[in-house]
Structure 1
Amino acid sequence: MLIERATAPLLDLIPELEPHLEARTPCTDYTVRQLINHLLFWAPSLTGGATKEAIAPPAAAESDLDLTTGDCLAALTASITTTVKAWSDPAAWEGTTYMGGPMELPAELVGAMVAGEFVVHGWDLARAAGRDLPVDPDIAEYLEAELAKTAEQARQMGIFGPEVAVAKSAPAMHRVLGLTGRDPGWTVS
């Protein structure tokens, strides 16, 4: 299943993040801990997209709630596993659904956004830990095509940063990163 293949590298990475919780990430607004909080904050909405429920996040803003107390790595693994299970149902990809609010969107679009969230933020976390994220090239090509459909709108909404120029001959994952406003050569300093 697409969602399982997209999230497997992130799930493999999570146990290695403990010593890097305060490290900066390529997602400039977040440290590793803050990015984990972001993923935990949006997890119910991502899962709700698969079950066709408009589940709002648990607070008005991510900064209003610290979900990284306790064993945040176990909580992250559990939340991603729950989301993957929900999106593994073929019915999740059919018709329309929600992404945390009352506006209906095509389920395939939301599913691609969920996969992109885990792959791109997985890369952010891997780079913060000084590692690469081994993303299946087929998944990266799929995400490039899907994310390109909404990239300009995502930039206008502040979800993606300004596009980073990446050669068309570069690996698909590098093109995904450039599309989302990330420099594929970013390293932790």
Structure 2
Amino acid sequence: MTDHSALLRPAAAEFLRVAAAAQPLTAPTPCTGYDVRGLLNHLLYWGPWLAAAGRRETYTATGTEADAVLVGEDWLATLEKQTEDLVDAFAPAAAWEGLATLGSATMPAATVGDMVLGEFVIHGWDLARAAGTPLTCSEEATAAAEAVRASAVAMGEQARAMGVYGPEVPVPAGAPALDRALGASGRDPAWTV
């Protein structure tokens, strides 16, 4: 795996732009089982776990994601702060080296970093689709999409077995990197509300 820390900040900025537009909170998303509120709750629940893994710290949540109610009136400010914390946690090259613990699982730290990048890109696309707005693919975002595609392919079987990804959606080899990343993660790039 590779250090993709340089891709995090631009991906995070685009993620926050589309998250702010994702209304109403009851709108469906392409992320199976989640409306906008549920997806934001998912992101707010797992963000501290990911940041702790990047810093090699221990994090324990009270309750499960299903029990958590994290999307209040100030959800956007909370998401902005958490996103900045994730970028900061994975900014140092050392955050991508060696092993990291995420919950009870120990894995390559670069895998956890790529999960963060995937949260920004894939869930950013989910929120953009729910809002009916495009996810802008700058040069950095295209590189991020390619990194996420490679990660989704590498982790695909395990992620599908854990229910994190749906079945792979066939996408033409010449399609944009984002579409190929979406297909590898079990999303249909043509999904609309």
Please classify the TM superposition score into its range, dividing by the shorter chain length. over 0.9
One-letter amino acid of the counterpart of residue 94, structure 1: E
Q: CA deviation at 1:102?
A: 2.8
- Counterpart pick for 1:27 among 22, 27, 31: 31
Partner of 1:94: 97
Is the Cα–Cα contact under 8 Å of residues 7 and 118 in structure 1 kept in the other structure?
yes
Partner of 1:66: 69
Partner of 1:5: 10
Partner of 1:159: 164
The question of 1:181 aligning with 2:186 is answered: yes
Q: Count how many residue pairs are aligned between Structure 1 and Structure 2.
A: 185
Deviates more, 1:50-59 or 1:146-155: 50-59
Higher relative contact order (CA 8 A, sep 6+): 2
Is the Cα–Cα contact under 8 Å of residues 7 and 143 in structure 2 kept in the other structure?
no
Is the Cα–Cα contact under 8 Å of residues 18 and 131 in structure 2 kept in the other structure?
no
Q: Distance in 2 between matches of 1:172 and 1:182?
A: 13
For structure 2, the residue ranges without an aligned partner over 5 or more in a row are: 1-5
Q: Distance in 2 between matches of 1:54 and 1:148?
A: 28
* TM-score, with structure 1 as normaliser: 0.93
* TM-score, with structure 2 as normaliser: 0.91
One-letter amino acid of the counterpart of residue 109, structure 2: A
Is the Cα–Cα contact under 8 Å of residues 100 and 107 in structure 2 kept in the other structure?
yes
* RMSD (Å), alpha carbons: 1.3
For structure 1, the residue ranges without an aligned partner over 5 or more in a row are: none
Q: CA deviation at 1:4?
A: 1.1
Identity among equivalent pairs (%)? 46
